[in-house]
Amino acid sequence: MSYTSPLLSLSGAVAAGAPDEGVAAHYGDPLREQRALARGEAVVDLSHRGVVTVSGPDRLTWLNTISSQLLLDLAPGESTETLLLTVQGRIEYSPRVVDDGATTWLLTESWEAGPLAQWLDRMKFMLRVEITDVTADWATVGSVKPVERFTGNLTWTDAWPHVCTGGYSYSVVPEASHPGTDRPWHEYLVPRADLPAAVEGLKLAGMMAAEALRIAAWRPRLGVETDERTIPHELDLLRTAVHLTKGCYKGQETIARVHNLGHPPRRLVFLQLDGSQHTLPERGSAVVVGGRTVGTLTSVGQHYEMGAVGLAVIKRSVDPDAVLDVVDGDEHYAAAQELIVATDAGQVVGRPTGLLKGGRA
């Protein structure tokens, strides 16, 4: 079902393309909007995103049994994220989760809400839960810093890049110096009918600004960094979306086996792209080393300080010091890689301490 945000009718608004159809790419000045967003002076229209609710007394215990995160003691207003996996441990859904004491709210990508609600409905059996796709009634607005106007709204706050309880970091970068700490992130639920009034008088930034800051924060996104083969280890998602010592759930065997005994076959990297061509490669472009395709460019943007940047998923075996070549048709873009997921991530059984850092006990 197609969607067009009412904010696209504002002066200067330019529509975004996939996967963000329906909202603005920018409102006339993407880099200025990005600076304002980074400083906490602007908000982003995320009203194309989906919202699913799970109500009923069994909601948290049930969601806990079918997903990767420990949700049993999720307090009202507390935020987290979880993964719904295949039996092989591959990511199917990745909802952002916040509970209000009576209802659990799942914030999703635009395409994710309907299929997720149907999947959950098939899994509820005789439990006291009710699943509803409420996307038609609720919109989402995002910001880097808390917005006073939305103090009373139900808010999801991203834990990234902090290593949550039960999580584990696959990065060689200490948490304190992780670039994600420069981009705290908040998403506010707003009645959809009230969206224009809710943001009236606030500076607006488009999705180009939001995506550039996400890329710079090394923050993976479902349907963008993921494909049908993705396991959480490849994207460093064990730090925020997986609890390694909770009870059984579908896909847990793969999570444990790769983490303890193996290595993820691919790894997420941050790319600093050659900007001398004054163009950007398209998402999905091949990442090449020595004439051999080793991965895919998953995200790309123009950062207001760093210039052309991107995220790519590449083979674990690629030399971390190699200069990569991003190939988009006849255009070639040299790209320096920065490790997000360590080349030796995983296989923690018998690993000397102090190499990759686990979460809090």
**Residue ranges at the known binding site for substrate:** 187
C-alpha dihedral over 106, 107, 108, 109, to 10 degrees? 170
Query: What are the start-end ranges of the E strands in the chain?
Result: 14-15, 24-26, 42-45, 50-55, 79-81, 84-85, 91-93, 96-99, 103-108, 130-133, 138-143, 155-157, 186-191, 203-205, 266-273, 286-289, 292-303, 307-315, 323-328, 331-339
Report H helices in 5-68.
Answer: 30-38, 59-66
Residues in the chain: 361
Other CB atoms within 10 A of residue 3 CB: 13
Spatial CA neighbour of 348 closest among 235, 286, 257, 270: 257
- What is the identity of the amino acid at 120? L
Binding-site residue ranges: 187
In Å, what is the CA distance from 128 to each residue of 51, 149, 165? Answer: 20, 35, 28
